[in-house]
Amino acid sequence: MKKSLLSLALLVSSLAAAQQAQPLPSFSLTRFGLNDGGKGGLGAATGDTLDQFRFRATLGFHYENNPLVYYRNGSPAGSLVEHRAQLHLGMAFGITSWLQLAGELPMVVLQSGDDLSNVAGTVTPDSFGLGSPRFALRMGILSQGSGGLAKNTGLDLALQLGVALPFGVGNALNIENGWNVMPQLSAGRDFGPVRFGGEFSALIRQGVALTPSTTKDTVGHQLGLRALVSSTGEYVRFEGSFHTLIPLDGGVPAGFELLGGVRVPIGPLELFALGGPGFGNLPGTPSFRVFAGLGIKPWAEKCDASSSHTPAECPDLDDDQDGLRNRLDKCPLEPEDKDQFEDDDGCIDPDNDRDRVLDGEDKCPIEPGPKSNNGCPIRVRDNDGDGTPDVDDKCPTIPGPKSRQGCPIKDTDGDGLEDELDQCPKEPGPRERNGCPLKDRDGDGVEDTADNCPDEKGPVENQGCPAKEKQLVIITKDKLVITDRVYFATGKATILPVSFPLLNQVASVLRNHPELPMVTVEGHTDDRGSAKVNRKLSLARAKAVQQYLVHQGIDQGRLNAMGFGPDRPSDTNKTEAGRANNRRVEFVIEHPTEP
């Protein structure tokens, strides 16, 4: 993971070491904050506001790892801030159903890093400090529920204006250099049990020149983007979010973070935790961060699941727990019966086909029919149910295809092939063998000629061997194809132990198939090096494999060894992958020639 780094000219300035160590100019290093009201999610705003007169307070512990790293000539030389722990006190209040006021006060309680005064000319920041307070006013424009200026729309949309004041205590990179203004646009929407949303924001602040050497030292205006997906409901909730900050003063690439979180309600309290890695070179983007704490609602919301309310008063709840919020549920107090018939209206459908036969008694619940026929439509009589009406069916009590006027196909051996097309009408066999049986003595569906284990049952995909050992050998007409390579010591004919299981399977196949009279072990190389040396090496390797198989009990008279060096490539020698494919061992089945 690439750690956050102060990739400004401060860190590469040739003047820093020559000057007396100075403290960094005042600016707030931390660029992450919770969604104040926390209604839609914690990691990002999603267009939501608190209900009127509702209040939420949070106390959180926030840890960042390596949010400020000193780089020299592109390489890390130390961490100006390696560990940073803060406490965050936050509050949000719903002034109206569409207007929310929030505030936050951060406090650095622990901060440490490397002493880089002789390297970067910078004094290590203080380990404690009271940060700049932040206030935000959010206005709900659209709302899926009862909030917002426009209610019951298909989207939550909100505008927010935030400010951070240049006040604080200490020099812990916790105080803004001037007034900060933070406009924000956020939006979100629920899709059943999942909510999607995000925010787009800007940070307008006085630029901070960290060193006088270049304009790239300025930490100033930024654009921010967050995207969030979270679960909904009144119980344990999960969320994941993506965060990016894009500096507008140039010189430093954007920073990215991926955070996951969980929220656990306990009465009026909520325990929460978020955390995840960071990527990029932007000051304030840590290698990872963890934010955990406690949320407090001192009185029950009107629309808490446990409070007394009507569905109309709380359109965002799902009172009957059928997966549809009250505002979308035509029967908000009766759960949908989930029978794949009009399941999106939230109502029970006791008679799907409306034939006055209840579904529990209806043998055709989605086809209307009279009660006398068990709710099924009256159709043309077809006693054997073969689709041929009895009036046209020459075999009305025995099902058969229409092409045979309702009479069954004559298939004495029951192999699915009509007797008149079956070359073995009294012995079942597959169609591709014209109805004649396979020679398969273990009865596992793999012909003996292709079965690595002809006396043990096994699946077709494992070449007829038991699934406990994956087969690496495939029997074809001309070769024993191996699905792995035979590995040798570099430049030698010594077989590496990793290939023993593969060669043991080759030996097993040869033992189980004595009908294979002769197999030639071929050695091949790529075209690198001397062709003469490669031919000699490939022959030595082929003979090593031959001897290994002999030691496994294979008659040497059934084995031959040949080395072709680079003369018979199976792939290109212009790429590393192609050359690797050319360095191979093959097992060629030698068929006796016709006299």
pLDDT at residue 379 in the model: 65
Beta bridge partners of 476: none
Phi, psi (5° rounding) for residue 377?
-70, 150
pLDDT at residue 21 in the model: 61
Strands 129-130 and 222-231 come out as unpaired
Q: Looking at residue 488, what DSSP letter applies? A: B
> Using CA atoms, how far apart are residues 302 and 316, in angstroms rounded to an integer?
11
Contacts of 344 (CB under 8 A, 6+ apart): 324
pLDDT at residue 151 in the model: 85
> Using CA atoms, how far apart are residues 320 and 314, in angstroms rounded to an integer?
12
pLDDT at residue 442 in the model: 86
Phi, psi (5° rounding) for residue 448?
-55, -35
Per-residue pLDDT of the chain (595 residues; tens, 9 = 90+): 444 444 433 333 434 444 566 677 778 888 899 998 998 899 999 999 998 888 999 999 999 999 988 777 767 777 888 999 999 999 999 999 899 999 999 999 999 988 877 665 677 788 899 999 999 999 999 998 777 899 888 899 999 999 999 988 988 888 888 889 999 999 999 988 899 999 999 999 887 765 544 344 567 889 999 999 999 877 899 999 999 999 887 666 788 999 999 999 998 899 999 999 999 878 889 999 999 999 998 655 556 655 556 777 677 777 777 777 777 777 887 787 676 666 677 776 676 776 777 777 777 877 787 877 777 876 667 778 787 877 677 888 888 888 777 787 787 877 878 887 777 888 787 776 677 777 888 888 898 888 899 999 999 999 989 999 999 999 998 999 999 999 999 989 999 999 999 999 999 999 999 988 899 999 999 999 999 999 999 999 999 999 999 999 999 999 999 999 999 999 999 999 999 999 999 999 998 764 4
> Using CA atoms, how far apart are residues 274 and 314, in angstroms rounded to an integer?
28
Ranges assigned E (strand) in 170-236 = 180-191, 194-203, 208-209, 218-219, 222-231
Ranges assigned E (strand) in 26-125 = 55-72, 75-94, 99-112
Q: How many helices (H) and strands (E) does the chain have?
A: 3, 20
Contacts of 236 (CB under 8 A, 6+ apart): 262, 263, 264, 265
- CATH architecture classification, 472-590: 2-Layer Sandwich (3.30)
Q: In the chain, what are the domain boundaries?
A: 9-296, 472-590
> Using CA atoms, how far apart are residues 196 and 574, in angstroms rounded to an integer?
49
Q: Is the pTM of this model over 0.75?
A: no
Is there a contact between 250 and 216 (Cβ–Cβ < 8 Å)?
yes
pLDDT at residue 389 in the model: 76
> Using CA atoms, how far apart are residues 283 and 32, in angstroms rounded to an integer?
12
From the candidate CATH numbers 2.40.160.40, 1.10.1060.10, 1.10.3720.10, 3.10.20.340, the one assigned to the domain spanning 9-296: 2.40.160.40
pLDDT at residue 13 in the model: 42
Sign of torsion over alpha carbons 225, 231, 237, 239: negative
> Using CA atoms, how far apart are residues 257 and 503, in angstroms rounded to an integer?
49
pLDDT at residue 339 in the model: 65
> Using CA atoms, how far apart are residues 108 and 95, in angstroms rounded to an integer?
30
Distances (CA, A) of 436 to 127, 224, 423, 430, 449: 86, 72, 6, 7, 16
Distances (CA, A) of 399 to 385, 409, 577: 7, 9, 59
Phi, psi (5° rounding) for residue 56?
-140, 135
